[in-house]
Every structure is written in structure tokens, then in C-alpha cells.
A and B are shown apart, each in its own frame.
Chain A
Amino acid sequence: MAGTVNDGQVRSAANLVVLAGADNVGIALTDIAAGDTARTLDGVALIAQDAIPQGHKIALRPIYQGADVMRFGMPVGLARADIAVGRLVHVHNVASRYLDNNEDHYE
């Protein structure tokens, strides 16, 4: 899959974006199936260990219990348990500092 940028340059399409250099999660740009490669434009690549739906987070590095989940340079929650590389990072393993999100909010 490839796309054309406004200057006519063709790049291979990425399915993952890392918003800031020190982040320990990336964001899926499309649905990524378990076992597929998650890949950014600038060369970060890892195997997804879970299905990562569009807009959801994948662990780029091991995130240990109690550590901050970092997105765009900001802590967006605390790991409830150790999270391995490639796993989905979401309400099941992330706690808010502000509001209890430890419930099944899915419709």
C-alpha cells in the first residue's frame, strides 16, 4: 500500500503513529490484527500481540505496573499491571489519576 503526498513523493503507508519521541505507546492509524506488523513512517516497527483497533494504543516498550503511560509527552494514566511490548494498552490495564475508569464502558 502506498500513498501520494502533496509534493508528489510516494511513501509506503504506515499504520502507526508515535506522537512524541519519549512516548511508550503508539496509536493505531488503522485496525491492526494480532500478529501483524505495526509500522510508523519513520521506521518504528513491532509485531502486534493483540488486535489494536484504529485510535487505540500499543505498547512500544515494556510498561511496568505503576509506570506512566506516555502519549505526546504527557502521562495519560498508570499501568495497572506489567504490559508487554505489542500488547493493547487500554482501560483493562490503565488506571486514570482522575476518574475511575475500571468498569466495562463498552456498549
Chain B
Amino acid sequence: MSDPTASLALPDAAAMRGFPRADGRRGIRNYVLVAYLVECAHHVARMMAAPFQDEGVQLIGFPGCYPSDYAQRVMEAFATHPNVGAVLLVSLGCEEFQRSRLRDAVAASGRPVELITIQSAGGTAGSVAKGRAWIAAQLPALAAMETVPITLSDLVIGTKCGGSDGLSGVTINPAVGHASDLLVDAGATVMFEETCELIGCEEHMAARAVTPELAQALRGAVLKADTYYTALGHGSFGGGNIKYGLSTLEEKSLGAYAKSGSRPIRGLIKPGVQPPGPGLYLMDTVNDGPVRFGIPNINDTQTITEMVASGCHLILFTTGAGSVVGQAVAPVIKGVSNSRVYRRMEGDMDVNAGTIADGVESVADVGRRLVAAITDAASGRLTKSEALGHQEFVLAYKTYEPLGPSCLPG
């Protein structure tokens, strides 16, 4: 090590390139998105996308046949996401999804779009042939598209944990917190989530809010989560936590909250709402109103899906037990809390924070490596889950009221 101060600087971000979009955002990928609009069109859409797995074609969809404003909003957000360059919509024909509205929104965004309706396109075989031909015709233009230099201030980063263990709150989550601080200081937009796992952190969060009204909105989001999960019958602190050294509910929550770092909280957003400017935001992941449609987010992927719908280019995902998930449209960078799982699943893990528990790296050291992983991914390097072909996506029924006026102060 020649210069001890060198490690304090941000990783080299000079190689980052982006695809400029008409709305001013810049993508770090230029995917073809294939989207089915009801489960009945899923197989046909998968058959269209399958031959192009290694050419950046992404498959998403909404399984429901009944209308949903929330699902419509999330699907439109994905179809106009900066990482998407062209969109193929696959409809059965009789579902209630508003397919023409979605097609028109994509066309208005300046992207090539095609809507194939299976009932009028020759059924399965005819539709698959048309879809594959359309995708093949898009790929050369997408590959040739000019890129422009981008900086960290062009990026929206989401943070998420899943399959946490006793070291997650000591190693990888605080390291993500340091990375979050570095990113916010560099002008990036960062979001964190999991209001149901922030019970006990609401006063600390409120003190970080940029206005008193936002502080109250943050408290309200946590209270809503507490009330909702209590109605569902979920409890959240017990013997296993204590065995691993956690003394209180608020200390347990801190394990997840640590990912948010220490910078001021600029706003509270809901799925599909884009943060209006750089800084740190909390994503409200719990339904508004009474308990409806069951558990708000049925797994990690649904929460990640919501963050991508709010514009995340990349996701920092932390795990202890060893999750392998990736995500459609936004590459996932995975950090693991301990070296034992890192050695066992190195092919899936981008960053090992077990070095902190091993006593050989600091939290800040790993935080800088996470930022380096982001600049690498934004320079075109595939993340581990991306290279392995992961494209997880989950969208289910939820209900949200519009954002209140105090949620996004200037």
C-alpha cells in the first residue's frame, strides 16, 4: 500500500457510460423488455424472449386479470425505465389490463414498442414467431446506440436485505450505509425500504428528515407498517435475536436501518414515484388502508421490483444466509455478511463483507468496495447475478393512496 489516503477517495468513475433517454434520465443498460399483461400470456412471452437470454432481453409481467392501478403504474414505470431501450407487450386479448394505454405511454417515451395480442396474432405459434422477429429486428439498433459519459449523480440506487444473519447488522448492512453516504455525497439518489422492519427507528429517522412535516410522514409510515403487520398477526422480536446478541426490538430494526447510512432523508416515496432530486429517500412498502390482498410484499423480489419502478438503475442487496436473486431491468450487486457463505457461494456474491468479521477490513473499506462495484456495473461490467441470467420480478395486487403533500419537500 503506497498511499494510505488513496483508499479514502471514491473509486474511479470515469469509465461510466449511459444511454440518454428523452425524459433526461440515462440508462446503464439498453435492454429489450418483453412484458406479458396477464398470466395467460406468460408462456408465449417467455418463448419469445428465450432465444435472446444472452442478448439482454428481459421478461416481466403481471399475472392478474382484474384491473389494478398499482400494477398498471409499475408496468408503465418498467416499460419506460432508463435501462430499457425497446418494449414488446404480449396480451392475451381479453384481460382487463389497459394495454393500449401502456403502449401509448411507451411510444410517447420515444422507445420502439410493439403490442402483440395472441388472440389475433395466430395463437401461440404465430405470436411467438412474430415476437421473435420483432426482437431480432430491434437488437442491432440497440447495440449501436450512442452512449454518453455519466456520473454517480445520474444514478438511482436501491438498497435491500434478504436472508439476513447475525452478522448482517454488523458487517454488510453498515458497509452499505457507508456506501449510501458516499453515493449521496457524490450527488446520487439512494432509496431504502422495509418500513415493517424499521419499528423503533422512526424517531432517529424523523430527526434526519429535512422538514418537520416530512418527519411526521416518516413516523406515520412506520406506524402504518406496525399497525398493518399487527393486524396480519406478525411479531418480530424473540429468543433467536437475543441469542445473536440483539437486546431490543429497536436494535434488531437497526440491522436493516443501518443500510440507510447517516445522511438527511429528503423524502418519502411510494412504488412508481420517482425521487424528484438527488439525496436519500424512504420507500413506503406497505399498502394504504385496511388489510387487503394479504401480505403487502410477499418476498424480497416484490420490494426490489417496487424500487426499480421508482427508477433504480442498480440494487445493492445484502444477505447472510446466501440469497441468489437478481432482478429484471436493474442489475443486482450482492454483498454477503460472512466469509463462510462467501466461500460457499462465491459465484453469486459480488462483495464479501465477512472481511469485517474476520477483522481484516473496516466497514468503510467495504463501503468503498461497494461503490466500486456500482461504478464497475455502470461501466458495462455484468454483476454476478446478471451474468448468471437472473431476472426476478414479482408484481401482485396492492392499494396505494397518492403521496401526501409533506412527503416530497423541495
- Hey, which bits of chain A sit against chain B, CB under 8 A? 1-7, 9, 11-15, 17, 19-20, 27-30, 41-42, 53-57, 69, 71-77, 89-91, 94-99, 101, 105-107
Contacts and interface: CB of A to CB of B under 8 A. Distances in A.
Contacts of A69: 247
Nearest to B166: A55
A9 to B, nearest CB: 5
Contacts of A12: 359
Give the interface SS of chain A, mostly helix, strand, loop or mixed.
Answer: loop
Contacts of A9: 1
B355 A7 contact: no
Q: Which size bracket describes the interface of B in this complex?
A: 35 or more
Contact of B247 (A13, A19, A91): A91
Interface string B171-182: 100100100000
Interface string B245-266: 1111111001001100010000
Interface stretch (B137-145, B183-191, B196-204): B196-204
B234 to A, nearest CB: 14
B239 A107 contact: yes
B358 interface: yes
Given A73-B262, A76-B254, A98 B363 contact: no
Nearest to A107: B239
A106 B242 contact: yes
A5 to B, nearest CB: 5
Contacts of A72: 174, 177, 254, 258
Nearest to A88: B245
Contacts of B250: 74-77, 96-98
B254 A74 contact: yes
Interface in B68-93: none
30 contacts: A2-B360, A3-B355, A4-B360, A5-B355, A5-B365, A6-B369, A13-B360, A17-B171, A17-B363, A19-B258, A30-B359, A53-B245, A55-B166, A57-B247, A69-B247, A74-B250, A75-B250, A76-B247, A77-B250, A90-B242, A91-B247, A96-B200, A96-B247, A96-B248, A98-B249, A99-B248, A105-B238, A105-B243, A106-B242, A106-B243
B147 interface: no
B247 A99 contact: no
Closest 8 CB pairs of A and B: A3-B360, A13-B359, A55-B245, A96-B248, A56-B245, A76-B251, A14-B359, A105-B239
Interface in B56-70: none
Contact of A17 (B170, B204, B244, B257): B170
Contacts of A94: 247-248
Given A27-B245, A30-B357, 11 more contacts: A3-B355, A3-B358, A5-B355, A6-B361, A17-B362, A53-B245, A55-B167, A76-B250, A90-B245, A96-B200, A101-B249
